[in-house]
Amino acid sequence: MKRLLTICAGILLTCRPAAAQSPACFLKDTVFEVLHTQLEVLEDTANALDIGQVQQRVFQPLESLPFVRGYRHETIWLRFKVVNQAEYSRVFTVEVVNPLIPKLSFFQVNGRGQVDTAFSTGASFPFSHRPVQRRNFMFPLHLEKGDSCQVYLSIARDFLPNSNILIVDYDTREGVIRRYEDILLTVFFVFCSLYLILSAFVFSVTRQRFQWYYFGYVLLTACFISAFLGHGFQYIWPEYPRLQFVVPLALNNVRLILGIWFFQAYFDLARNARRLNIFLGVTIGIFLMALLVQSIYTVWGPFSGIYASLMHAGYVFFCVYLFFFCLVIMLWALKEFFLKRRRRSAALFLVVILNFIGLATTSLQALGYNLTAWAPDNIFTKKLVFTTQTFYVPVPVMAAFFFEMLLVFNFSMQKFMRLLEKDRRTQMKIAQAREEGLQALILGVENERRRIARELHDGACVQLAAINMQIDHLRDSMDNQLGLSEQLASVTTDLEETYRELRSISHDLMSKALEKTDLRVALEDLVIRCRNAQPSLDIQFYAKFDPEKVDRLVKIHLYRIVQELMANVLKHAQATLTSVQVLEHQGLLLLTVEDNGIGFDTAADNPSDGIGLANIRTRVEVLRGTLHLESATGRGTFVNISIPWNVLTTGHAV
């Protein structure tokens, strides 16, 4: 590659053979094609020539300039002639696309050899020194109808010498081309922003810290591309030129380090590939060393001689090492894919290929290669090259990073879905274990109720009945002792009340109707006992469902729920009317208990009601049902419980 600088004359340019020795650009207003035209070049190795001396020197075609393979601190003078063949005066823009040129001068010389316009700027000057406040170096070129001029560009060549030079109509530059720029940059940065937002959500849910390394990698890569395009100098540090030479490199190195950390953690290289892990650790050290050296070079200023040559050699070594680094990762990914059959290594190989493309194009451009000359010669490529000539960052870098984000985001989403599925299965197991635990607990309580009820009924109640019979017999045999007989009658009455109370407790603990009959009969028996317990309470009961299909354990749960609700009515509601309904409707069993009592404040803490309601909620939760409670002081209470019918018939959720 011999050419070090290229010129692309943009929209509204065409080139004709010129009679003079200096090639000329003939500017019209009807041509819409990308044009590559020759430049003339002069090397100022001593950096001592001014514009007057340069006009007296002999320029050579740009093709005669040898490719620079080492560091050369010198000034390159470029010259080309411009002729306005339009039917009116025009304002054009000469744009130099390289935001890292330390010093750049522009001269517009008329046909009499006089300098009409002169500007001096560069990345070493504050941003306010630019004649046009844009991220690239832009110089206005005004030509009257039929007028011509010579354009001289003085470019300081240190590092990153490659540049694109565009000559475009000012209105076209600020219209069509800028619109293309805005669209491309907006799509790119909006996609990066969306990715960061979505990945932040995903990484927060997965709680895997190493995922945040890639989050930082994407964020810094977007910042690096923006800074490398010149946005940082334009908007963030316009008065601190030296930052332009160190911030992009710092962002690039730190983002690569974050990418390596993500790679190490994602594949657990410390355990699975120790040698590769050590190699990556060495690579991180080299990146940090390169950043330190570049920072020292930037702070102390550019030097000539051996130190500057060593800097250039170090940069070449850095670029070569990047190629070697990508090659090692690619070989490892291929080995993992073919030998260990790990599918994710194939995707890793694609990611590394994309990184390799980005690093290779950036490094080759930094070493002075003209990448646009390697593009295929077709209409699509020419249009793409033309619309992106104002970007110093090579388009393959942005495209590779774009597709890399898509791949990694796909990995993250797949892992996220796997974690969600794993979490769902875990939650199902926990819920099932909890349900089984509650079922076992409630079944144990019911068994204990049954045991206590049986002991009370068959033991204490029988003994009390026997004692009562003995006392009756004793009282009959002692009729002549009136006072003693009355005392025995009082004891007999107390025993009978105690017997009835124990018998009632035994029935409450385990209803015989519930044991021997279905749920509807058991609920009817419960309502009858509640009426006997409080005759002033009017209880209306209505049931319409198939009790034969209700599972035994579910029958116990429903009976206990109604029993608990009726107990609250009897103890606390002070109601005169209560309605109990059990209905089957649209695949649900609807249980409602409503009273016209004093009600209560559902927001207040009520220990007496809280325990009962907590037991009811627990049983409803076991049955996979829903509970709705409405109550207010002085307005009664309404409780509605709906339970899926399939739970009632199987005894568990399906």
pLDDT in the model for residue 69: 54
Of residues 40, 51, 59, 37, the one with CA closest to residue 167: 37
Helix (H, G, I), strand (E, B) or coil at 588: strand
pLDDT in the model for residue 247: 87
Spans in the chain with pLDDT lower than 50: 1-21, 29-36, 378-386, 607-609, 653-654
pLDDT in the model for residue 118: 93
Amino acid letter, residue 194? L
The three-point CA angle 449-450-452 to 5° equals 65
| Burial label, 439 (beta-carbon count in 10 A; 0-12, 13-18, 19+) | middle
| Burial label, 70 (beta-carbon count in 10 A; 0-12, 13-18, 19+) | exposed
Amino acid letter, residue 277? N
pLDDT in the model for residue 10: 37
Question: Rounded to whole angstroms, how far apart are CA atoms 306 and 147?
Answer: 48
Question: Rounded to whole angstroms, how far apart are CA atoms 140 and 35?
Answer: 20
Number of CB atoms found within 10 A of residue 507's CB: 18
Helix (H, G, I), strand (E, B) or coil at 618: helix
- Bridge partners of 61? 40
pLDDT in the model for residue 106: 94
pLDDT in the model for residue 369: 61
Name every residue whose Cβ is closer than 8 Å to that of residue 165 and which is 6 or more positions away in sequence: 5, 6, 7, 8, 39, 78, 94, 95, 96, 97, 153
pLDDT in the model for residue 107: 94
pLDDT in the model for residue 16: 32
Of residues 578, 548, 547, 580, the one with CA closest to residue 562: 580
**Contact criterion met (CB below 8 Å) for 233 and 99:** yes
Question: Rounded to whole angstroms, how far apart are CA atoms 402 and 357?
Answer: 12
pLDDT in the model for residue 476: 66
Number of CB atoms found within 10 A of residue 326's CB: 18
pLDDT in the model for residue 95: 87
Question: Rounded to whole angstroms, how far apart are CA atoms 414 and 93?
Answer: 49
Matching residue, tokens 């059990």: 582
φ, ψ for residue 112 (rounded to 5)?
A: -90, 5
pLDDT in the model for residue 287: 85
